[in-house]
Every structure is written in structure tokens, then in C-alpha cells.
């Protein structure tokens, strides 16, 4: 299989180097290998030398965000007002057509080929696996170490994303790149079931990453206007969320979006307080406008009816209307999945 040959080629690249550790006593202190201070590639969002996952529903804007971020890093300019550190950037793409990527670059006013390289299916050879020999060799040769965007995780997986063993083996390629100093950003799909909203597939996807972010489109479904990026895992202290506006090829961050934002539960409580007797459809329309997912809103509403904080009243044709009457549960920052 192609994946096995590529993994073997990556192994040969690493084995070809002279061994640096011949005895256990040769192992250096971890503080000599990395600073205790976090080195940010993107300020308070993405640390250098880490594996990151960006998830969303199809069409929410992952590719546009990933290319905008890669372009900003390649030029060393801010992304949505957040400082970046200038690094080479490589995009490995098995998801999109050349026409689509070219259109995104045009809208972003970005160009590839000088610090930003995009390897897609339109080239004579399809984009290699993250752990392939050519990518490993490039990372080893670069100083400073690059950003590598993989679009998408499943397109390069080569196996069953629900299989923990196969997924762990695949993501180990990305971990090795991070160990060599590269920063990896994997695009992936969010799940559809009530127990898999943040990401689809094996739990090893989340376990293997240093940081995971969910992207939600808060505007019209057929356009990218207002996006929300919210971390659902991070080994570093990052901001609570980012609400971005996209206009004329430029991303800007809404003022006040971040750690001071109300929790999803507080926003839903406010919506019910201001709209007594609200119906489910209206709540599901208003919640995304405030950055709260529809699935979260449904789960929260069901839990609050059950514990008596919300009163449900029966209407015509089995319609139900809801009114806030009490205090929320103390542990209601997240739905009980």
C-alpha cells in the first residue's frame, strides 16, 4: 500500500542520520530541548512545534481559514489581528480542485511559490503523506521550521478514521513532524451525532493533538461572513474563542471576542429571559447568531426542562413553547454527552 511505502521512506530518512543518542546517559534534559515558555506561531492560538486540528461541517470555511493563516505565517503578518511568527508554509491538499484553491487565493490577495507552497492533486504527483520522505527531508533542512497544513485529515488517512490503531499510527507521522520543530494543522470534519459534535472518528484524533478547534459559520450557510473558532482541547493557555469577520478577502477579529465572552449556557438563559414563550425553531435561529450551536441549544434546553429551570408549555399541533423560570445547573457549561 502507498501509505506503508511512504512511512518506510520516512523511516529511511530518519535512520540515515547519524545516531545522536548511543547510551541512556546521553539523553539531554528536556529543558535543554525546549523552552519552558510557549513560543507562539499564532498569538495565543497555535504554538510552534505542535499538532493542531481544525474541525467544522463541510463548507464552513476551513480551507479559506487555513490558506489565510498559512499566507499570514509565510509573510509574517498578523492573522485577524493576532501576531504571527514568519515561517515557511506548506499546504498538502487532497481535498480541493486547483480552480477552487486559486479562487480562494485571489480573494485573499495571496500568492504561492515564495514562502508558501501548495501541493495539490492538480500536480503530476498527488500530495504526499505528512510522514513521507520528501516532507521529512524538507522539515529537517529548514530553519526556522515550517507550518504544514493538511487538507484534509481523512483524505490522507489511508484507513478507517474510526479505528483507533490506524488513526494513532497516522497521527504519529504528524507528531514526528512536530518533534522535528514543524507546526502541523490538520483539517477535519465535525461529527453529526449527539456524542461526536466536535470531531468525527476515533477519540485518538483528539488525544493525539496538542490543540483542537471547532470552526462554526455564524452567518448564511452559503457564504463566509462571520466565523467562530472555539478550542475544545489545548495543552496551552489559549483564548476562549475567536469570532472573526470576513470581508473583501480580509479576516478581522470582533472586539470583545475572547475570554470575557459569556458561556453558551448564559447566552441561552439570556435568550429565554428576553423571549418568554419562545419556540424551538426560534431558539435554534437565534442561538447561532450569538455563537451557540444548534445541537448544544437543543441539549441544554432538554436538560433545563428536566431540572425545572425552564417551563415547557404545549401549543397547537404539538408545538412547545419555553420560558425561563429558575437557576441553571452549576455544571452546565457543557452538555452532558
Instruction: Please report, for the chain, the start and end positions of each structural domain, with discontinuous segments joined by +.
Output: 2-253, 264-324
pLDDT of residue 195: 43
**Mean pLDDT in consecutive groups of 10 residues from the start of the chain, 337 residues:** 47 56 79 71 96 94 97 96 96 97 96 96 96 96 97 94 94 96 96 68 95 91 89 90 91 66 74 88 83 81 89 86 73 39
* H-only helix segments in the chain: 2-15, 30-33, 62-75, 98-108, 133-141, 153-157, 164-179, 204-208, 264-274, 280-289, 294-307
Contact criterion met (CB below 8 Å) for 236 and 219: no
Query: d(Cα 208, Cα 171) in Å, to the nearest integer?
Result: 7
Query: What pLDDT does residue 271 have?
Result: 86
Cβ contact 52:46 at 8 Å = yes
Q: Find all residues with CB under 8 Å of 2, minimum gap 6, and list them.
A: 129, 158
- In angstroms, the CA 147 to CA 44 distance is 16
pLDDT of residue 295: 81
For the chain, what is the largest distance between any 2 Cα atoms, rounded to a whole number of angstroms?
Answer: 78
Per CATH, which fold does 264-324 belong to? Answer: Arc Repressor Mutant, subunit A (1.10.10)
Alpha helices by DSSP H, listed for 201-279, are 204-208, 264-274
pLDDT of residue 256: 57
What pLDDT is recorded for position 257? 44
- The verdict on domain 2-253 having CATH code 3.40.50.620 is no
State the first-to-last Cα distance of the chain, in angstroms, to the nearest integer: 37
Q: CA-to-CA distance for 118 and 101, rounded, in angstroms?
A: 9
Do 300 and 269 meet the contact criterion of CB atoms below 8 Å apart?
A: no
Place of cell 426560534: 282
Which pLDDT value is given to residue 122? Answer: 96
Q: What pLDDT shows up at residue 193?
A: 47
Question: If you ran DSSP here, which 8-state letter would residue 239 be given?
Answer: -
The pLDDT of residue 20 is: 73
Amino acid at each position: 500500500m502507498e501509505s506503508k511505502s511512504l512511512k518506510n521512506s520516512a523511516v529511511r530518512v530518519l535512520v540515515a542520520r547519524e545516531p545522536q543518542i548511543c547510551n541512556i546517559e546521553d539523553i539531554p534534559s528536556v529543558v535543554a530541548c525546549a523552552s519552558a515558555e510557549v513560543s507562539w506561531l499564532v498569538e495565543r492560538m497555535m504554538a510552534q512545534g505542535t499538532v493542531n486540528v481544525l474541525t467544522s461541517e463541510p463548507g464552513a470555511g476551513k480551507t479559506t481559514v487555513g490558506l489565510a493563516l498559512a499566507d499570514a505565517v509565510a509573510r509574517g503578518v498578523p492573522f485577524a489581528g493576532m501576531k504571527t511568527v514568519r515561517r515557511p508554509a506548506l499546504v498538502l491538499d487532497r481535498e480541493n480542485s486547483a480552480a477552487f484553491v486559486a479562487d480562494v487565493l485571489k480573494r485573499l490577495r495571496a500568492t504561492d511559490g515564495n514562502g508558501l507552497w501548495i501541493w495539490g492533486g492538480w500536480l503530476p504527483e498527488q500530495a504526499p503523506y505528512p510522514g513521507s520522505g520528501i516532507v521529512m527531508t524538507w522539515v529537517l533542512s529548514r530553519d526556522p521550521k515550517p507550518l504544514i497544513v493538511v487538507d484534509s485529515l481523512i483524505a490522507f488517512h489511508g484507513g478507517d478514521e474510526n479505528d483507533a490503531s490506524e488513526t494513532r499510527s497516522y497521527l504519529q507521522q504528524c507528531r514526528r513532524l512536530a518533534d522535528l520543530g514543524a507546526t502541523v494543522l490538520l483539517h477535519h470534519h465535525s461529527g453529526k451525532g449527539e456524542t461526536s459534535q466536535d470531531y468525527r472518528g476515533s477519540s485518538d484524533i483528539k488525544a493525539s493533538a496538542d490543540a483542537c478547534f471547532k470552526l462554526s459559520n455564524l452567518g448564511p450557510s452559503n457564504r463566509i461572513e462571520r466565523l467562530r473558532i472555539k478550542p475544545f482541547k489545548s495543552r496551552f493557555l489559549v483564548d476562549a474563542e475567536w469570532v472573526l469577520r470576513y470581508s473583501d478577502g480580509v479576516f478581522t477579529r470582533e472586539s470583545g471576542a475572547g475570554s470575557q465572552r459569556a458561556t453558551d449556557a448564559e447566552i441561552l438563559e439570556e435568550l429565554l429571559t428576553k423571549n418568554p414563550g419562545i419556540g424551538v425553531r426560534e431558539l435554534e435561529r437565534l442561538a447561532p447568531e450569538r455563537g451557540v450551536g444548534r445541537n448544544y441549544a437543543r441539549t441544554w434546553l432538554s436538560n433545563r426542562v428536566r431540572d425545572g429551570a425552564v417551563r415547557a408549555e404545549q401549543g397547537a399541533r404539538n408545538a412547545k413553547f419555553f420560558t425561563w423560570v429558575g437557576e441553571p445547573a452549576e455544571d452546565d457549561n457543557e452538555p452532558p454527552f
